Amino acid sequence: MHNVFDHAAAALACLDVEQKLSLTAALQRDWTDGTLDATPRTLDPVCGRPERPLLVPPAQLAARGAHTLEGHAALIHAIAHIEFNAINLALDHIVRFPTFPAAYIADWIRVAAEEAYHFGLVRDHLQTLGYAYGDFPAHDGLWQMTVRTAHDPLARMALVPRLLEARGLDATPPIQRKLQGIGDTAGVAILDIILRDEVGHVAVGDHWFRVLCAERGVEAEVTYRALLAEYAAPWPQPPLNEKARRAAGFSDAEMLALSSSRQRSANPPKAD
């Protein structure tokens, strides 16, 4: 019987986009079929990416209005890049922390497969605009936080799915309105699918974050805000998608506290 961590590591390390998608689909299929052993393996996860897109700091990404074809394509490309990164994130969650129970492995295998599906939808839509994945530069913010939290699964669950991916819940409705405004109904429909599934992905991160907090005897929502401060992580930007966040595990009290804490952080008291 083959080992699930070997297979996840191979999918993560793969440089070719099509092969990565195939390996991720095979990982889900073999896990569902019960042909993969979950004996923990200590591996050094390596993230494989194609040569393109060129990765640059966020400040170097040129702003483009969606009302031009190039700007429209750049927006769709940015979404495709997020979804491609998310495949690698889910695979790294598996390989990086091999001592978690089977339910954890199953959760992130499912997420990886759904992210691969999302990427395919967005990439195909990009091609209808005359562009391919890799035609525009992209930034690496999601993966940088993955590297920073590689030592601690509690920080990883807090700051990757529960922070950075949760920001996608907030960002999606405004993007949909922008696409609707230029008549891209196909793009809006794709984002409907992505938003529906991403609520579940953030909920997976929320679940395992709370499991780890309970194991360590710390209060989850207080710990979450402390980690945001410790890592100088970007605070959620209003307006929050409260319905989606609530479905993903955020309480009303926590969303209020996040908004209040962000306001205090942005406006620190003046020294006497």
Instruction: Identify the CA nearest to 6 among candidates 128, 105, 147, 122.
Output: 105
* Separation of alpha carbons 172 and 83, rounded Å: 13
Q: How many other CB atoms are there within 10 angstroms of residue 264's CB atom?
A: 10
Residue 126, pLDDT > 70, answer yes
Complete domains list, the chain, with CATH:
66-266 (1.20.1260)
pLDDT at position 142 is: 79
pLDDT tens-digit series, residues 241-270: 999 999 999 999 999 998 876 544 444 333
Q: How many CA atoms lie within 13 A of 38 on its CB side?
A: 17
**Strand, helix or coil for residue 62:** coil
Query: Phi-psi bin for 232: left (phi > 0), alpha (psi -120 to 50), beta?
Result: left
Q: What is the pLDDT of residues 174-200, one digit of tens each?
A: 999 999 999 999 999 999 999 999 999
**Residue 36 β-bridge partners:** 2
Q: What pTM, to 2 d.p., does this model score? A: 0.93
β-bridge partners, 37: 3
Give CA–CA dist 205/193, Å, rounded.
19
